[in-house]
Amino acid sequence: MTYSDSLGVFIQGMTDPQALQQHLQSKFSEEQIQTAYESRVQEAKELAREKKITPLSAFWILLERTYEKTLPPRTCEKGCGYCCYQAVGLTQVEWDGILKLASEEKIDLNRFIERSEKSINRVQKVLDSGKDLEQLDWHNLLVNQPCPFLEEDHSCAVYSARPLDCRLVVAFRDTCGSKKLEHAQRGSVIDEAVGSTVIAKLQNDQTPKFKRRKFTGTAPLRLIQHWLILWRDKKNKKK
């Protein structure tokens, strides 16, 4: 049974994608979703030009504004970290944002690879087997495994560049006290209904025209562990 209120669907450890989709469809009309998608893309590009930042960084600012303007204060706080024990997928442009932050802040990604050996090896084993990661249950593959970027004090090492999946898990009633995420919710803002499509559009539009494919409304996702494996392998080839 799925529980929800006016703010969103209670996760209870893991979101039921179908229940979340039904909640979003009941909360927002198709017209509202289409309008939000078009405005977010345009606003992100305009804000990016104004502030001389990437369109994705601009979208993160817009998302934060939506939370602040339309919802009660969030009870999430630095160090709670219980929502950081689940599989997280992100697009190329989101990964590029993490790489940009790592470069600017001199963050050594090798440190996260070394300490996340268990979860990375699980993903590597699937890749070596030739299986399609997209067809697997990511939750079961990485159940109870901490995010590679989760620090010992339960803070996020790449917080300002964290992907959409992380930004949409929020709590309003109280701080979660376990991995059951008893207070965490999703489906709180219309950006949840359009966010992935907005990001896909921003990624498509910044791709050189000779490499650009017809926009389908989606962009491929890879697990954080998979992106780290690709980064590591690319670095090793250069040696």
- pLDDT in tens for each of the 239 residues of the chain? 567 888 888 887 665 778 888 889 999 999 999 999 999 999 999 999 999 999 999 999 999 999 999 999 999 988 889 999 989 999 999 999 999 999 999 999 999 999 999 999 999 999 999 988 878 888 889 988 999 999 999 999 999 999 999 999 999 999 999 988 999 999 999 999 999 999 999 999 999 888 888 888 999 999 999 999 999 999 988 76
Per-residue pLDDT at 239: 65
Count of the separate structural domains present in the chain: 1
Contact indicator for 52, 174 with CB cutoff of 8 Å: no
Contact indicator for 82, 183 with CB cutoff of 8 Å: no
Q: Computed from CA positions of residues 133, 139, 59, 95, in that sequence, does the dihedral angle turn out positive or negative?
A: negative
Per-residue pLDDT at 2: 62
Domain with 129, as residue range(s), is: 4-238
Q: What is the C-alpha to C-alpha distance for residues 237 and 30, in angstroms, rounded to an integer? A: 47
3-state secondary structure of 185: strand
